Amino acid sequence: MRRREVNMLSGSITKGVLAICIPIMIMNVIQNLFNIVDMAVLKSYDDSGIAVGAVGVCGTLITMITGLVIGISSGANVTVAAFIGEGDRDKVDRAVGTSFAVALMGGALLLVIGVSCAELFLTWNNCPQELLDGGSTYFRLYFAGVPLLLIYNFCASILRAAGDSRRPMLYLIISGAVKVSCSYFFIAVLKLSVVGVALATIISWSVASVLSIRALLKNVGMVRLKPKMIRFYKQELGQVLRIGVPAGLQQGLYSLANVVISAAVNSFGPDATTGISIANNFDGILYQISTAPALAVMPYVSQNIGAGNIKRAAKSVGRGVLITLALGATFGALSAIFSRQLSSIMSDSPAVIAYSQQKMIIISSTYFICGINEIMGSALRGMGRPNVATVSTLIFMCALRFVWVYGVFPLYPNLTFLYLVWPIGWILSIVMLLCFFFPTLRKLRTRV
């Protein structure tokens, strides 16, 4: 066990979960902060506000694809972690090679879909006409770099399966710094506006993917990428997809429901669209803080179940919930209290700031509930029950929001009422997941 890798099979569970989730949290928060700096730079050279709106209107759709990527990569995380728990090096090698092949194939597929359907997707999202041209340009360029995003996320998931979350954090911080530097050069010097933001994103992903590939190629632990083994192995592919596809669908469905809500918000005009896109940047930070423990719990559960230590797997879930409560409630309260000051970083318009504040106050103060929901879903994926979390998302994050937007919202057409569907859905989802978690835990105990 190398010093950068956390031993998930023994020692303090709380320290172990924190050792994994804190780098993940720092990594994702800093990445979101870099995105906020990007938008602030763009705002400084965009008197009309059209460029900021054009990038912002793509946000929900991009989040949907990013969530899909992260969800699918969790299949690699759970599969590799389980084989590490079993101590089977051959299976680990095959799982790593298969996961990398999935990243390459999936990235190519998403590139084709995103580039060819950009304008169609934005039209479906009820994009304001004045933002459509800039939004389509940004969307196409963004998707040109999605294969690099997929490679990084799969490599990071594989490293985290071995308990190494420090290097993925470091690589994303480096790539984020590159992104901000390139954004400033492209926007301030070359005056490339939304094109500059997209190009900076592609360059930063290139840096992150190259560094993560290098780490896996040179890793001396149990997890290592061997080029000759980059292909599909039937058994390992089945396990990666069995976990990853439902998780990806879960994230995709969750974001699809947000696209529906985004379309409702966009009907309030460009100020609402821009305001909500600003709020989404800060919501993204809170989401990463609240859900980082879930990314630590998933390999913890998987490794310990692979090793036959069910009691320790269950304890890791409890520790994850407590950590999520502490982090989510604290940072959520701060975000709600300082929502006006935070929103003013990216806009001077009182109307835009008001729209941003409205969402942040409601969503930020309840994000810890989302974190608990993610913990339970990750625990069930680690237990080999990924479909439960997917069905829960389909019902309470997708179907409920469709019903809310098209059935309830027209009766009470104000945004405050619209946003209440978030915490309501999270609470109902947690109840369903708990109904499956405890019976699954009992069944696993009887097998040991």
Place of tokens 């946003």: 419
Q: Computed from CA positions of residues 85, 88, 90, 91, in that sequence, does the dihedral angle turn out positive or negative?
A: negative
Q: Please give the torsion angle defined by the CA atoms of residues 438, 440, 442 and 448, in that order, rounded to the nearest 10 degrees.
A: -150
Q: Rounded to whole angstroms, how far apart are CA atoms 439 and 441?
A: 5
pLDDT of residue 2: 53
Cα 144 from chain centroid (whole Å): 19
CA distance to 103, 161, 208, 241, per residue, from 75 (Å): 11, 10, 20, 6
* Residue 122 · residue 61 · CB < 8 Å: yes
Cα 442 from chain centroid (whole Å): 30
CA distance to 34, 40, 43, per residue, from 37 (Å): 5, 5, 10
Secondary structure element (H or E) that encloses residue 33, with its range: helix 13-44
What the block records as the tokens of 427 is 């609470």
CB atoms within 10 A of CB 140: 17
Task: For residue 205, give the amino acid letter.
Answer: W
Secondary structure element (H or E) that encloses residue 334, with its range: helix 310-337
pLDDT of residue 73: 85
**3-state percent breakdown (helix, strand, coil) of the chain, nearest 5:** 85, 0, 15
Total residues found in the chain within this entry: 448
Q: Rounded to whole angstroms, how far apart are CA atoms 402 and 118?
A: 23
Rounded to the nearest 5°, which phi and psi values hold at 193?
55, -130
Residues whose CB is less than 8 angstroms from the CB of residue 72 and which lie 6 or more positions away in sequence, other chains included: 102, 106, 244, 245, 247, 248
Chunked into runs of 10 residues, the chain (448 residues) has average pLDDT values of 69 87 80 72 74 76 75 85 87 94 91 88 80 88 91 91 87 89 90 89 94 91 90 91 80 73 79 84 82 87 87 92 92 90 85 90 89 93 85 88 89 88 94 95 83
Rounded to the nearest 10 degrees, the angle between the axes of helix 270-306 and helix 350-364 is: 30
Secondary structure element (H or E) that encloses residue 15, with its range: helix 13-44
Secondary structure element (H or E) that encloses residue 447, with its range: helix 421-447
